[in-house]
Amino acid sequence: MQPEVFGSITTGRACRRGIIQSFLFTIAAAVFLFVNMTDILRSSATQHHRMSDPRLKAFHETFLTKAVIEKFGYSAAEWKSMIRLGVPHQIKSFCDAIAEANHSLVPDCSSSIMPDLWIGKKRESKVRLVVGLPTVLRPVKQYVKSTLKRLLRDLKPMDRNSTVILVFLADTDQTATQQLLSLFFQNFQSEIESGLIELLVPNRRFYKIMESEPCYGSIKDQAFRLDKTPCQDDYLRWRNKQNFDYSYLMAYGSQLGEFYLQMEDDMMCGSELFPKVFGAITSFSIRPFVFAEVTGRGFRGKMFRSNDTFHLSQYLLRRFDAMPCDWLYPIFAENLPNPCEADPERYPQAQHDCGSHSRKLRLVDEKGRDLCHHRGRFSSLKGKVVPIHLAT
């Protein structure tokens, strides 16, 4: 009987051992699956979070198509490294000021002020000069390519590290924006990669109020309406959007440099432009000014200090439906103090003849002519053709 008992005990132990091993194997398998599924879910959640970010969503779905990446020779990682996702810290105070003036002007400003796309190079400090260049895909003829080529041609190598040309793509149509992006990368790829040219596409929600805003034109507009229907007047909508565009562009441009020069995409400038502009910046402590201009026509070609530019961007937005930017900036500038009078300790070298300094510094060529001229006959306002004598 002993062998039978021993055999029974042995068989029972083996059975229990098998059950325990199966149980442990099941636990190990469950732990393995749990860990791996957690990683998978975490990866999926991270990817979902990234793609839920409206900036990255627009970046991936609209601008970062495989064809575009391959066309310009970038890997996805290289292209993504060129995208600036953060916003300058002072942009928050821009939103605070706008909300205080009119909280319904830019709903959810802290979110809608974030660009849909910003291609640029993050710097440790500000450059000396930011050139703001708004552009759209014009219905008849494009000028921005030749305008940029002329600017780059006349910008000396020694000044390139001190300059940013901030191109603002103001089209509301994404197809037009894609066409312009292709144009810039086809012609200015090295300048974009170096950070000399930055590309800024605004958040479309920033313009939300314009979808329902009625027309409030001045008498000079000859379009004075006080009804409550959304504005259908082409000129007023174009003019109001231009104020929004410039406000957005200047808010960002003012954070990148010490001085900001407002340009347009259809300007032709002489070779003396940058030497004169940098000369004015260099001598600012001796001969300060409220603003300088390289052309006397309109808002184009006006240069302000970055801090004044930041406040001007808010002023344009608060009064976007009152009048064109050409009429708004002189009112704003008139209320700025002369720097050497407002801060004499900062400009001691200018005190001996502070009163004789002009609030406006006109920069001209050796023959006393404007440094830049407007050459675009076909306006960004559909159907508008500028007479030849005004387009020069």
Owning domain of residue 309: 83-390
d(Cα 260, Cα 255) in Å, to the nearest integer? 9
Answer yes or no: do 60 and 102 share one domain. Answer: no
Answer yes or no: do 77 and 99 share one domain. Answer: no
CA angle 87, 89, 94 (to 5 degrees): 90
Answer yes or no: do 111 and 212 share one domain. Answer: yes
Residue 6 resides in a domain: no
What pLDDT score does 341 carry? 83
Backbone φ and ψ of 375, nearest 5°: -120, 0
d(Cα 300, Cα 374) in Å, to the nearest integer? 9
Answer yes or no: do 62 and 174 share one domain. Answer: no
233, 218 in Cβ contact below 8 A? Answer: no
What pLDDT score does 348 carry? 82
Strand pairing category for 163-169 and 127-135 = parallel
Nearest residue to 90 via CA among 262, 310, 305: 310
Q: Which of 31, 54, 81 is the last residue of a domain?
A: 81
Residue 278 resides in a domain: yes
- For the chain, the domain total comes to 2
Answer yes or no: do 116 and 226 share one domain. Answer: yes
d(Cα 216, Cα 221) in Å, to the nearest integer? 10
Give, for all 392 residues of the chain, the pLDDT tens digit: 444 444 444 455 555 565 555 655 555 555 454 444 444 344 434 333 333 444 444 444 444 455 566 677 787 788 778 888 778 888 989 999 999 888 888 988 988 999 988 999 888 889 999 999 999 998 777 889 999 999 999 999 999 999 999 999 999 888 888 889 889 999 999 999 999 999 999 999 999 888 766 555 544 444 444 444 455 567 788 888 999 999 999 999 999 999 999 999 989 999 999 999 999 999 998 889 999 999 988 889 999 999 999 999 999 999 988 889 999 999 999 999 888 888 888 888 777 777 666 789 999 999 999 999 887 454 445 544 445 444 44
What pLDDT score does 195 carry? 94
Residue 5 resides in a domain: no
Backbone φ and ψ of 305, nearest 5°: -65, 155
Strand pairing category for 302-305 and 291-293 = antiparallel
What SS3 class is residue 262? strand
Answer yes or no: do 193 and 227 share one domain. Answer: yes
Answer yes or no: do 196 and 345 share one domain. Answer: yes
DSSP structural state of residue 290: S
Residue 34 resides in a domain: no
Answer yes or no: do 126 and 250 share one domain. Answer: yes
Answer yes or no: do 278 and 233 share one domain. Answer: yes
